Structure 1
Amino acid sequence: MASPQQEFNVGIIGYGLSAKVFHIPFIGLTPSLVLHSIVQRSPVPGNSAPEDFPSIKHFTNASELLSDPSVDIVVIGTPPNTHFTLARDALLAGKHVLVEKPFVPTSAQAHELAALARQKNRIITVYQNRRWDSDFLTVQKLIRDGEIGRVIEFETHFDRFRPQKPPASWKLDLPMSKGGGVLYDLGTHLLDQVFVLFGMPTAVLAKFVNQREGRVVTGEGEGQEPDSVSLMLSYADTGMLALVRIGVVSAEEEQVRFWVRGSRGSFHKTGLDPQENHLRAGGKATDPGFGTEDASRYGKLSFVGDDGVIGSRVCPTVEPETYRRFYELFANAVASGKEEDAPVSATQAARVLEIIEAAKESARTGREVAPQSHRD
């Protein structure tokens, strides 16, 4: 007879969109995880964790949750300037930790948390859920299967047409020095995907722009935070370039997502993975077809035929693993206690932060900058 599956109690710090849309639903779908408690500082009618989940524990400050011995895992869904202290305190309290992206403001903090997790024999992971976007998995498969050949240029976008500044939020108003802004919010996703595919670049060249106001900025000081960025990551060993672009004044009917050029072909894809919009609209990961892209949204694969003539075909998006896979892997890592089983390790997240730090230095100086791991 099989032994019963071990269960782990999960406490969540923060009750915003992240908790409601990206964490609580997937905790409920992961057999070994149990939603145990939520920290919400100021519940109000219509936005109240105690009203929404009356059968679990509730706290109004993180220290109460961290001191509860029945909590095994802590999910941190607060603004990024709070992540380091909360994650450190959770590890010191003997908890496993899942931190929303962006992980922490600096790579030094990320490496410190990775070392502390090893010291405490606990798992710490970062919610880079877009590793499980179906369009990214399609790109990954095309490269792995050699459909494109040797990658010459990898272009990844997160563009929008939002010429008017949105309402205040940490994503806009928290400075980059504290983990805010577009480079940490959206750039973390794009750079993590580049890192997964190609590893660390040898150099980064960055331009920061305020597209809404029409001016170049440096990313330092008041009025210098960008709303758009263009990064060029170079890989000296292959000659490949990865172009990472985020813009807010992109007037396109279909926004480019990926454009990958290789020695045997290229892949062009527009639109975003459907999971986030589905979840934001109140859908569930158990809904039929969740994460499956409509055929009208498929990308185009161009290829060099045996006769040297270039042709093209529609390239179906792969069957989605969905964001459920992240939580499955995290639960397995907690059960095994092995850092290498974590879906996204703190060390990997630190490497991505090194790329961000190189980009910030490049935008400030106007020079190509090697990430820290290539300087050591």
Structure 2
Amino acid sequence: MAAYTQSSTMASKPYNVAIIGYGMSAKVFHIPLIQVTPAFNLYAIVQRNPTAENDASKDHPGIKLYRSSEDMVQDPDVDVVVINTIPTSHFELCRLALEYHKYVIVEKPFTVTSEEADDLINIAVNRDLFLTVYQNRRWDTDFLTLSKLLKEGTLGRVVEFETHFDRHRPEAPSGGWKTKPLPGGGGIYDLGTHLIDQVYVLFGLPDRITGFVGSQREHNPEGVDDSCTVLLHYDSGLLATVKAGVVSPEVNQLRYWFHLDCQENQLKAGKKPGDAGFGIEPKDRAGTLTVIRDGQPASEPCPNIEPATYSVFYSQFAKAIDGQGTVPVPVEAKGAMDVIRLIELARLSSTEGRTLKVKDHYAGID
């Protein structure tokens, strides 16, 4: 895809980035990564209602502070828009930014529906603009380690794959949009999006899907679907299980029997990519690799590989813009749309109590 160029000198200077929303996602997952990416400049933030305790202009002196997205997109100096708002607003804000010829990064979940995602992809293609979705868990160190083992053939033929994002939070949180049964909300659109995306990256689209979507909490006054279990069936014989739960009283919550990536906690603590030790797992958190040797199972420690860190997402997006379409964006919007399609089918499967064939519902999917 050829990129729209707002000025002939754009590539010779950092791209100005505007962020819509100033919550945890912006502060932890985006601004620190923008700040360590030389190709990007934190230029503006849209914050509708700053407070004395939460004011983007005080935290980042020198930036432009906008009260509305409509005003921000009219600024000709904005090159890239990052959308960090609730899922129900993603479609309209993405469309607004694209219509004003901005490159767009949108937080997961991409959109509430696959129809919305398809519309946005068509707008971006027709305007020769770059659109990507922030699926940062593709750069979790454990996931990269697993990807390496699969690529090398160390694990042999995979017949069953199980991935978890479990937590022990039996009490329903109070306040905030995540506590409301909104479109695009609940466990499957939140943590489930990460897990389904990782299976999609490793193994592609499944042939059939079985979903169980609901609540594990005993007291759930708002009726939010806080948990999910999704079975992804492949004609090759592979069965992938995706599970996100909130009642899991484990001391160490594991995923593919690796520990959860450390980058999120380090970012929350103020560390950034490039800081000493960022993204590096301690040796005592190595996984265990079991292979068959001389016909018998043999186990050994399997430390994570050297981390690429979440900053790769932003550096890759900058390369895509510079490459004018010769370099791919870090997460293709079509792949993110396919994940939304799988979520739609998982929810339908759960409602109807049956396994669904993917191509029966999305004939053009490939």
How far off is 1:255 after superposition?
1.9
Distance 2:186 2:269 in 1: 25
User: 2 CA distance for matches of 1:233 and 1:122?
Assistant: 33
Matches within 5 A, 1:360-375: 360-371=347-358, 375=363
TM-fit CA distance, 1:223: 5.8
Report matched runs for 1:290-305 at 5 Å: 290-305=278-293
Asked whether the equivalents of residues 299 and 315 of structure 1 are also in contact (C-alpha less than 8 Å), the reply is yes
Q: Which amino acid aligns with 1:227?
A: D
SS in 1 for 2:174: coil
**Equivalenced residues, count:** 354
Residue 13 (structure 1) aligned to one of 10, 20, 37? 20
Residue 326 of structure 1 corresponds to 313
CA separation in 2, counterparts of 1:368 and 1:253? 34
Secondary structure of 1:50 counterpart: helix
Q: Quote the Cα distance in structure 1 between the aligned partners of 2:349 and 2:84.
A: 30
Q: Deviations over 1:15-45 (max 9, x none)?
A: 1111111111111111111111111001111
Deviation string 1:63-120 (CA, Å, 9 cap, x unpaired) is: 1100001101101111111110000010010000000111110111111111110111
State the Cα distance separating 1:170 from its structure 2 match: 2.1
1:361 partner SS: helix
Correspondence for 1:284:
272
Q: CA deviation at 1:254?
A: 2.0
- For 2:203, the aligned partner's letter is F
Query: Are 1:247 and 2:245 matched, yes or no?
Result: yes
- The match for 1:201 is 206
Number of the residue aligned with 2:5: none
Structure 2: 5+ residue stretches without partners: 1-10
In 1, Cα distance between equivalents of 2:363 and 2:223: 27
Tell whether the 8 Å contact from 2:213 to 2:346 is kept in structure 1 after alignment.
Answer: no
| C-alpha deviation, 1:186, in angstroms | 0.5
Cα contact 1:155–1:244 (8 A) shared by 2: yes
SS of equivalent residue, structure 1 residue 182: coil
Shift of residue 281, structure 1, vs aligned partner: 2.0
Gaps in structure 1 of 5+ consecutive residues? 216-221, 259-268
Paired with 1:25 and 1:160, the residues of 2 have a C-alpha distance of 26
The percentage of counterpart residues that share the same residue type is 47
Give the TM-score normalised by the residue count of structure 1: 0.90
- How far did 1:206 drift? 1.0
Q: 1:202 to 1:223 in 2, by over 3 A?
A: farther
Runs of 4+ in structure 1 off by over 4 angstroms are: none
- The 1:233–1:297 alpha-carbon spacing in structure 2 relative to 1, beyond 3 Å, is same
Q: Counterpart in 2 of 1:99?
A: 106
* Correspondence for 2:191: 186
Look up the match of 1:137. Answer: 144
Distance 2:327 2:228 in 1: 32
Query: In structure 2, what residue type is equivalent to 1:183?
Result: I
Q: Give the aligned residue type for 1:200.
A: L
State how far apart, in whole Å, the 1-side matches of 2:292 and 2:362 are.
36
Q: How does 1:98-137 map to 2 (within 5 A)?
A: 98-137=105-144
Distance 1:172 1:271, change over 3 A: farther
Native 8 Å contact 1:339 1:345 kept in 2 = no
Task: State whether residues 80 and 105 of structure 2, in contact with CA within 8 Å, keep that contact through their aligned partners in structure 1.
Answer: yes
- Secondary structure in 1 aligned to 2:48? coil
Deviation, structure 1 residue 173: 1.4
Separation in 2, partners of 1:289, 1:200: 36
Q: Secondary structure at 2:133's aligned position in 1?
A: strand
Name which of structure 1's ranges 249-258 and 186-195 shifts more when overlaid on structure 2: 249-258
In 2, Cα distance between equivalents of 1:205 and 1:367: 7
RMSD of equivalent CA atoms: 1.8
Name the aligned partner's letter for residue 322 of structure 1: T
Deviation at 1:340, TM superposition (A): 5.8
